[in-house]
Amino acid sequence: GAVVSQHPSWVICKSGTSVKIECRSLDFQATTMFWYRQFPKQSLMLMATSNEGSKATYEQGVEKDKFLINHASLTLSTLTVTSAHPEDSSFYICSARDPGTQMNTEAFFGQGTRLTVV
């Protein structure tokens, strides 16, 4: 199946700093990628839809100025957590679907990024 790579796998940062997470589609081009956040022992909550060449679409309650999304190319979307605080500590996962195939295909997920803000 298609491969989605996410980097870094884990990161520890100090409060007030910014952290960038990359999501790459390795063997296909993705005009749309999705960013999810997962709290411990909870489900994945959609944060935003990343659209290549245009602004991301954020879910209700997600601060767009805090979680900056850039989708500058067909294979790369980035999520930047700005001015991070301990409550931003979480597991962040991206996903994408190969648009070259039929619309009924499954989404593929990156391996996730464990962010810890201290």
Partner 1 sequence: AQSVAQPEDQVNVAEGNPLTVKCTYSVSGNPYLFWYVQYPNRGLQFLLKYITGDNLVKGSYGFEAEFNKSQTSFHLKKPSALVSDSALYFCAVRVNRGNTPLVFGKGTRLSVIA
Please report, as ranges, the residues that interact with partner 1 according to CB under 8 A.
Answer: 1, 4, 6, 9-10, 31-32, 34, 42-44, 46, 49, 91, 93, 95, 97, 99, 103-104, 106-112, 114
> Shortest CA distance to 61 belongs to which of 50, 43, 52, 48?
48
Q: 49-58 in b/e burial notation, b at 16+ Cβ within 10 A?
A: bbebeeebeb
In the complex, minimum distance from the CB of residue 40 to partner 1, in angstroms, rounded to a whole number: 11
Q: Which tokens hold the place of 116?
A: 């810890």
Closest to partner 1 by CB, 59 vs 83, is 59
In the complex, minimum distance from the CB of residue 16 to partner 1, in angstroms, rounded to a whole number: 25
In the complex, minimum distance from the CB of residue 31 to partner 1, in angstroms, rounded to a whole number: 8
Residues 6+ apart with CB under 8 A from 101: none
